[in-house]
A = this chain, B = another copy of it.
Amino acid sequence: MIKARITVTLKEGVLDPQGKAIEGSLSALGFKDVGSVRQGKVFDIELKGENKVEAEQSLNSMCAKLLSNTVIEDYRVAII
């Protein structure tokens, strides 16, 4: 069993309305030292098998095909 964490974040320069909303809420809650907030996603995936090289290829393929929108998002695969 291989465990991996995929982190998907918006590319720099891409507008993040959700992050902006959180910035506003944090400021309204009294957190005045918040500069910027950007929101992203994580996927914790368990894969059958023990071949880490194959797993990494498979995970990269999952990101390209389903888990991220590569036009506006970056992804990072980490085998844990």
Residues of B within 8 A of A55 (CB): 33
Expressed in whole angstroms, the minimum distance between the Cβ of A35 and any Cβ of chain B is 4
* Set of chain B residues within 8 Å of A19, measured between Cβ atoms: 43
A29 at the interface (CB under 8 A from B): yes
Chain B CB within 8 A of A15 CB: no
Copies of this chain: 2
- Chain B CB within 10 Å, residue with most, of A9, A22, A42, A47: A42
Number of interface residues of A (CB under 8 A): 33
In the complex, the 5 A-B pairs of residues with the closest C-beta atoms, listed nearest first:
A35-B46, A40-B42, A38-B44, A33-B48, A36-B46
Chosen A-B contacts, 24 in total, with CB atoms closer than 8 Å, are A7-B42, A19-B43, A22-B43, A22-B67, A25-B66, A26-B62, A29-B66, A31-B58, A33-B47, A33-B49, A34-B45, A34-B46, A34-B48, A35-B46, A35-B47, A37-B43, A37-B44, A37-B45, A37-B46, A39-B41, A39-B42, A40-B43, A41-B42, A42-B42
